[in-house]
Amino acid sequence: MKILLVYPVFPDTYWSFRHALTFEGKQAAFPPLGLLTVSAMLPAAWERRLVDMNVETLDETDIEWADMVFISAMIVQRESLEEVVRRCKALNKKVAVGGPYVSTSAEHLADADYIFVGEAEETLPEFIVDLKLGSTKHLYEAAERPSLLETPVPDFSLIDMNRYSAMNVQYSRGCPFQCEFCDIIEIYGRVPRTKSNAQMLAELDTLKRAGWRGLVFIVDDNFIGNKKNVRQFMPDLVEWSRQNAFPFSFITEASVNLAEDDALLQQMQDAGFRRVFLGIETPVEESLKEAQKGQNTRRDLLESVQKIQSYGMEIMAGFIVGFDNDPDDIFERQINFIHESAIPLAMVGLLTALPDTQLWRRLETEGRLLQESSGNNTDCSLNFVPKMNETRLVEGYKAILRNIYSPPEYYKRALDCLSRFKQNRIEPRQTDLIKDLKAFVKLILTLGIRDSERVQFWTYLFRLVRFYPREFAHGMTLAAMGYHFRKITAEYCK
């Protein structure tokens, strides 16, 4: 059996980081971890190939080679997913489709031969047995959420690591909170399940043996969702990092209550964590309560951010406007909070109702749903009727973007962020100095010579070198990311 695994195109958004990736000569931020895990679950005798359409072209010869095509996608990849299905069916290939989008919107993919709803650990083994028996079904739906203790090490051999900015691994699935707009708890549940310490270290060993050095993204939607298990894992991760001379730095996602746990923060710093994404959403308490995000109302959000930053970890955060309880001055309040928090990578989006979420169901009951979400909450579109005037909401949203990604404001936040770090941050070893130098030259040519905002860049660079020389590499990364956000903002706010 020949299996072609295909990852559809991820469109150009704030989350694609395309304009920043060009400086380091990369095509995508991360490889498709779900498909790499699926590959590792297939029978050893089966042949398999991977085409990540974000780093290479899907050719007709790739499809013709395969006996069956496996595709996984998120909702934002829907158009590319549907096109891949059409191309494969036109060549009379069997198509199996799974992933987060399918798990909430399976009814839209009738052309696929096999639909997988839920997690592959539950559905794929059943499908493989049925395939051998010649008794396959159209729909395979997970009856329960599986343990991750038998999940194999992803098949990293399928990818060319040089095409990606970072590698990724997964420790847990699920989140204990109940945010109304979130589809994670609908797909993966509210009881976080984790891999064992041995599993995680085996995945890191695999990446290290494959020659990877640098950034590793622990992709959990809430890394500290199961705090008991995380506390048991972190000492082993710290020791592994020390014994291996810190080959990786880590980034992850967590809830704001991470700021309450000094011991865990210290362990994360000791292991080499460099960035944490937080779902802050809004400084407006009434809107947080509306979104059932009570965990963010029980602490001072600015103090929480500064606490995590003091452990040498940059905060990247999500913000939302469009809640029913947003006041008239929500746009100014978001801008002020982002400025005071010194969060350079502030990902602000319009509220969107994702399929099968609590928000989707509430708005449907209220007769306010307009259409299915595109999966991109930053493209200035709405899929429901907001309480605030729609034009005012969209224009206010654009005003936030123009402000926070303007060079003076962005560079100020970047420097303020760097000022909050302690001086004992851990850097990954064995970086490629030649590649780093090439990236730096590209950055200087683009931001320092060709760009219309080059004066702001040179001012930033001077201050970076003068006040934070030990954070020079990090500061250059932030400059590249700011350039990407500025380019995307210009496209959205035309």
* CATH at residue 207: 3.20.20.70
Q: Is residue 424 part of a domain?
A: no
Residue 490 lies in a domain: no
Does residue 250 belong to any structural domain of this protein?
yes
Query: Of 201, 167, 171, nearest to 188 (Cα)?
Result: 171
Query: Does residue 175 lie within any of the structural domains?
Result: yes
Written as six digits, the tokens of 61 are: 């010869």
- Treating both helix axes as pointing N-terminal to C-terminal, what angle do 197-209 and 227-243 enclose, rounded to 10 degrees? 30
Residues 82, 175, single domain; the answer is no
Does one domain contain both 270 and 179? yes
The answer to whether position 333 is within a domain reads yes
Q: How many CA atoms lie within 13 A of 456 on its CB side?
A: 18
Residues 6+ apart with CB under 8 A from 213: 247, 248, 428, 429, 430, 431, 432
- The Cα–Cα gap between 173 and 226 comes to 9
Are 221 and 302 contained in the same domain? yes
Same domain? For 376 and 414 the reply is yes
Neighbouring C-alpha atoms within 13 Å toward the C-beta of 368? 17
The total number of structural domains in the chain stands at: 2
Q: Write down which residue in 419, 450, 469 finishes a domain.
A: 419
- Same structural domain, 185 and 130: no
| Boundary residue ending a domain (402, 419, 436) | 419
- What is the distance between the alpha carbons of residues 29 and 168, in angstroms, rounded to a whole number? 10
Question: Is residue 456 in some structural domain?
Answer: no
User: Does residue 264 lie within any of the structural domains?
Assistant: yes
Contact of 195 with 54, CB cutoff 8 Å:
no
Domain assignment present for residue 161? The answer is no
If asked whether residues 135 and 172 sit together in one domain, one would say no
Of 350, 370, 477, 373, nearest in space to 418 by CA: 477
If asked whether residues 53 and 199 sit together in one domain, one would say: no
At 434 the pLDDT is: 83
* Beta strand segments in 314-380, E: 314-321, 346-350
Tens of pLDDT, residue by residue over 240-296, are 999 999 999 999 999 999 999 999 999 999 999 999 999 999 999 999 999 999 999
* Same domain, residue pair 349 and 201: yes
251 and 397 fall within a common domain:
yes
User: Which two three-digit tokens encode residue 208?
Assistant: 């290290």
pLDDT of residue 426: 62
Q: How many CB atoms lie within 10 A of CB 463?
A: 16
Task: Give the per-residue pLDDT at 108.
Answer: 77
Which residues are CB-contacts of 347 (< 8 A; sequence separation ≥ 6)?
14, 15, 316, 317, 318, 319, 378
Distance CA 204, CA 213 (A): 11
Residue 386 has what DSSP assignment?
-
- Confidence (pTM): 0.95
Cβ atoms < 10 Å from Cβ of 30? 18
Are 251 and 390 members of one domain? Answer: yes
Domain end among 361, 387, 419? 419
Q: What is the CATH number of the domain that holds 100?
A: 3.40.50.280
Residues of the chain with pLDDT under 50: none
Same domain, 170 and 127: no
Host domain of residue 358: 166-419
Is 175 in the same domain as 137? no
Identify each DSSP E strand in 142-225 by its residue range: 167-169, 172-173, 193-194, 214-218
Of 474, 462, 461, the residue nearest 421 (C-alpha): 474
